[in-house]
Amino acid sequence: MARRDALTHDMFAMPVPATSAPGSMDFRPAISDLVKTMLDGHDRTAVACRCSELTGKDVSKYMLDSYTAPSKADFNAPAYLMPALEVATESYVYSNWLAAVRGGRFFIGREALAAELGRVKGEQDKLRQIEKLLHNQLRRGV
Which of the 8 DSSP states describes residue 8?
T
Q: Give the separation between CA 48 and CA 89, rounded to whole angstroms.
A: 10
- Over residues 52-108, the pLDDT tens digits come to 999 999 999 999 999 999 888 778 899 999 999 999 999 999 998 998 888 888 888
Q: Give the separation between CA 53 and CA 81, rounded to whole angstroms.
A: 11
Residue 114 has a pLDDT of 81
Does the pLDDT at position 18 exceed 80? Answer: no
What is the share, in percent, of the chain residues with pLDDT greater than 70?
89
Residue 141 and residue 58 in contact, taking contact as beta carbons nearer than 8 Å: no
Does the pLDDT at position 20 exceed 90? Answer: no
Q: Give the separation between CA 35 and CA 33, rounded to whole angstroms.
A: 6
- The pLDDT mean for the chain works out to 85
**Among 56, 50, 126, 120, which Cα is nearest to 88's?**
50
pTM above 0.75, yes or no: no
Q: Which residue has the higher pLDDT, 82 or 113?
A: 82
pLDDT class for 11, splitting at 50, 70, 90? low
Q: Give the separation between CA 6 and CA 52, rounded to whole angstroms.
A: 35
Helix ranges restricted to H, 25-109: 28-39, 44-55, 61-68, 81-89, 93-101
Does the pLDDT at position 1 exceed 50? Answer: no
CA angle 37, 42, 47 (to 5 degrees): 100
Residue 4 has a pLDDT of 45
Residue 132 has a pLDDT of 92
